[in-house]
Amino acid sequence: MEPDQAFGQALRSMRTRRKWSQTDLALRADVDRNYISLVELGKNSPSVRLVFKLCDALDLTPSELMKDVEKRMRVQAIR
């Protein structure tokens, strides 16, 4: 699995755990909803600044989110 895909899946997982729509996250992070969609689909790579904004909106540290990304990449590599 590519890192962008793993990041997108991790972001979607964190968002849906909170029962938020993409619009909810976009409003909290002050970004466009379409951009959230593209990131979750692995079609766009967020900047470091955006990673911090998303994590702040989700009340996570970037390291917590990246641990999830790493886990997803490891699991996929084993398959």
Residues 69 and 13 sit within 8 Å (Cβ to Cβ): no
Per the CB < 8 A criterion, the answer to whether 30 and 24 are in contact is: no
Superfamily name with CATH number, domain 3-78? lambda repressor-like DNA-binding domains (1.10.260.40)
Whether the predicted pLDDT of 76 surpasses 80: no
Per-residue pLDDT tens over the stretch 27-71: 999 999 999 999 999 999 999 999 999 999 999 999 999 999 999
Q: Are 25 and 36 in contact (CB under 8 A)?
A: yes
pLDDT confidence tier of residue 75, bands split at 50, 70 and 90 = confident
User: What's the predicted TM-score (pTM) here?
Assistant: 0.90
Domain locations in the chain as residue ranges? 3-78
Average the pLDDT over 17-26 and give the result. 98
pLDDT reported for residue 74: 87
Q: Which of 12, 19, 46, 11 is nearest to 31 (CA)?
A: 46
Counts of helices then strands in the chain (DSSP H, E): 5, 0
